């Protein structure tokens, strides 16, 4: 018996060692990915630009980050944050990451929590931080690092907490499956506790017979608080006395809270966050302008996914969802077959017109045109960029010619698109090229000649 047990335990031990070995390999590979990204950006930033003497090292850095982001289908912010983290890692932490004993989550936790701490404090607590990292889970690790910092440098800690409460609060929306969204609010610990206790108080007033699970009760309490209402009990007695037995899913009153989302990037987590889930009235995916917004502007077309009841079914052979396969694959093949040909729908930027419509020869778009373009493109045109179009410049796809506006690209809907400052700059510096292909596909070429395509927003 004793022998069998110890044999079994030896096997078990081996299996566990295998898991840990695989984990070390993954950690080391993650470190190596960051090191290689660093090398790439370093190399790209060193090389002098063959295009334009006006290109600065900062432009080259931005472009290199965008090149990586496009190649990895990531965002500028995600790649930039990772690289900056890698560059700022303390040597001991970096070595533990490289040899696989620290995982990305812990490395990120250590980095985030030690960020802006005084260098001498970091040196003083570094060994203890690493010891803690080897023993505890990332969530607890963050709190432990905070505790060590408070102990080592109470004045700094007080200051930095005050500043964070002022500057680091934010709201993020993430679209989830089945019509749900996560709304993440970064707030102070105290505020999070306050909201949780309000939710607890609402839930505690329900009768035990209320059929909802704890999660459902708390979720509904959050919605009720958001609307300034009380959470209603749904036990049969209460339903009967309120007279709404028939339909517990009665039409929701009140408009959904309008929060313009930024698509969340990989770096959006931090301690002190609370996340709530709620039914979203919008379909999953990038948020579109609401119907009300569109109705206010009679010239705006209806969103194609909300056709009038008598409209023919959408022609699925020529249009495809953003990111969807066929349209992009087809255009990629066409461009790759003949990379030198002109594929643009309107290479002159005149939208197929022979006479410029009013406003087409003025550099700045009219307010109506600006609103139309922003409604059509909720985000920066650059592939994967998550800057909402309200915060973007409106950029001419075919360049406007100030000397001869009639010859250059016109200020018309098909030649104007939102581009955030960063991506606008890369195009202005002629590091990246853009053309609008037929069917609304945007074709973007990075400085190395890699081609990217984005489908039109439907």
Q: Which of 80, 113, 263, 423 binds Zn ion (CB under 5 A)?
A: 423
Q: In this complex, which beta carbon is closest to Zn ion, that of residue 141 or of residue 385? A: 385
* Min CB(61)–Zn ion separation in Å: 15
* Min CB(105)–Zn ion separation in Å: 28
Q: Which of 225, 238, 282, 334 binds Zn ion (CB under 5 A)?
A: 238
Q: In this complex, which beta carbon is closest to Zn ion, that of residue 75 or of residue 223? A: 75
Q: Which of 385, 394, 431, 442 binds Zn ion (CB under 5 A)?
A: 385
With CB under 5 A, what is the number of residues at the site for Zn ion?
Answer: 10
- By CB under 5 A, residue 394 contacts Zn ion: no
Written as six digits, the tokens of 228 are 């300034």
* Min CB(375)–Zn ion separation in Å: 18
* Residue pointed to by tokens 């909720």: 378
* Min CB(239)–Zn ion separation in Å: 8
8 Å CB contact between 252 and 195: no
Stretch of residues binding Zn ion (CB under 5 A), selected from 17-25, 243-251, 258-266, 413-421: 413-421
* Total H helices, total E strands in the chain: 15, 8
Q: In this complex, which beta carbon is closest to Zn ion, that of residue 82 or of residue 350? A: 82
* Min CB(110)–Zn ion separation in Å: 30
The secondary element (H helix, E strand) that includes residue 435 is strand 433-436
8 Å CB contact between 111 and 145: no
Rounded to 5 degrees, what are φ and ψ at 234?
Answer: -115, 25
Distances (CA, A) of 225 to 221, 222, 235, 346, 391: 6, 5, 20, 52, 30
Stretch of residues binding Zn ion (CB under 5 A), selected from 59-67, 99-107, 153-161, 418-426: 418-426
| Nearest CA among 156, 157, 188 for reference residue 170 | 188
- By CB under 5 A, residue 328 contacts Zn ion: no
- By CB under 5 A, residue 235 contacts Zn ion: yes
- DSSP reduced 3-state for 357: coil
Written as six digits, the tokens of 205 are 């007033």
- By CB under 5 A, residue 232 contacts Zn ion: no
Distances (CA, A) of 90 to 51, 95, 406: 37, 9, 57
Stretch of residues binding Zn ion (CB under 5 A), selected from 19-27, 55-63, 204-212, 325-333: 204-212
β 442-445/433-436 pair status: antiparallel
Q: In this complex, which beta carbon is closest to Zn ion, that of residue 23 or of residue 260? A: 260
Q: What is the total residue count of the chain?
A: 458
* Min CB(27)–Zn ion separation in Å: 32
- By CB under 5 A, residue 233 contacts Zn ion: yes
Between 362 and 381, how does the x/- string for binding to Zn ion read (CB under 5 A)? ------------------x-
Rounded to 5 degrees, what are φ and ψ at 440?
Answer: 80, 10
- By CB under 5 A, residue 203 contacts Zn ion: no
Rounded to 5 degrees, what are φ and ψ at 258?
Answer: -85, 105
β 273-279/393-396 pair status: unpaired
- DSSP reduced 3-state for 111: helix
- By CB under 5 A, residue 92 contacts Zn ion: no
* Min CB(62)–Zn ion separation in Å: 10
Burial zone of 391 (CB within 10 Å; 0-12 exposed, 13-18 middle, 19+ buried): middle
Stretch of residues binding Zn ion (CB under 5 A), selected from 96-104, 245-253, 266-274, 421-429: 421-429
- By CB under 5 A, residue 420 contacts Zn ion: yes
Name beta bridge partners: 182.
174, 277
- By CB under 5 A, residue 382 contacts Zn ion: yes
For Zn ion, the binding residues (CB under 5 A) are 207, 233, 235, 238, 380, 382, 385, 387, 420, 423
């Amino acid at each position: 018996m004793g022998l069998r047990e110890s044999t079994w335990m030896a096997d078990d031990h081996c299996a566990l060692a295998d898991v840990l070995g695989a984990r070390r390999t993954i950690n080391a590979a993650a470190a190596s990915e960051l090191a290689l990204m660093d090398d790439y950006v370093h190399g790209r930033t060193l090389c002098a630009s063959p295009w334009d003497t006006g290109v600065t090292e900062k432009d080259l850095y931005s472009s290199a980050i965008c090149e990586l982001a496009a190649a990895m289908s990531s965002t500028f912010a995600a790649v930039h944050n990772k690289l900056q983290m890698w560059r700022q890692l303390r040597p001991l932490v970096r070595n533990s990451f490289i040899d696989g004993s620290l995982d990305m989550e812990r490395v990120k936790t250590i980095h985030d929590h030690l960020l802006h701490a005084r260098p001498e404090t970091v040196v003083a607590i570094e060994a203890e931080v690493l010891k803690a990292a080897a023993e505890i889970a990332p969530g607890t690790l963050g709190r432990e690092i905070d505790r060590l910092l408070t102990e080592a440098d109470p004045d700094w800690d007080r200051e930095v907490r005050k500043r964070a409460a002022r500057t680091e609060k934010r709201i993020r929306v993430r679209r989830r499956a089945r019509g749900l969204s996560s709304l993440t609010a970064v707030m102070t610990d105290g505020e999070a506790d306050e909201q949780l206790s309000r939710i607890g108080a609402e839930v505690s007033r329900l009768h035990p017979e209320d059929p909802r699970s704890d999660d459902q009760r708390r979720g509904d309490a959050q919605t009720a608080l958001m609307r300034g209402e009380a959470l209603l009990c749904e036990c049969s007695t209460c339903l009967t006395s309120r007279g709404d037995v028939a339909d517990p899913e009665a039409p929701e009153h009140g408009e959904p809270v309008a929060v313009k989302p930024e698509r969340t990037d990989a770096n959006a987590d931090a301690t002190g966050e609370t996340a709530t889930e709620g039914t979203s009235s919008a379909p999953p995916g990038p948020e579109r302008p609401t119907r009300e917004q569109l109705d206010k502007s009679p010239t705006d077309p209806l969103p194609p996914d909300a056709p009038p009841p008598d409209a023919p079914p959408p022609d699925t052979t020529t249009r495809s969802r953003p990111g969807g396969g066929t349209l992009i694959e087809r255009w990629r093949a066409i461009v790759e077959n003949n990379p030198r040909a002109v594929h643009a729908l309107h290479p002159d930027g005149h939208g197929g017109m022979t006479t410029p419509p009013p406003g087409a020869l003025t550099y700045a778009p009219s307010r109506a045109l600006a609103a139309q373009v922003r409604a059509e493109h909720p985000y920066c045109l650059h592939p994967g960029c998550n800057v909402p179009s309200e915060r973007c410049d409106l950029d001419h796809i075919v360049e406007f010619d100030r000397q001869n506006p009639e010859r250059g690209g016109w200020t018309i809907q098909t030649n104007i698109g939102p581009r955030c400052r960063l991506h606008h700059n890369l195009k202005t510096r002629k590091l990246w090229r853009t053309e609008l292909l037929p069917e609304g596909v945007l074709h973007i070429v990075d400085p190395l000649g890699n081609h990217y395509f984005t489908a039109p927003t439907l």
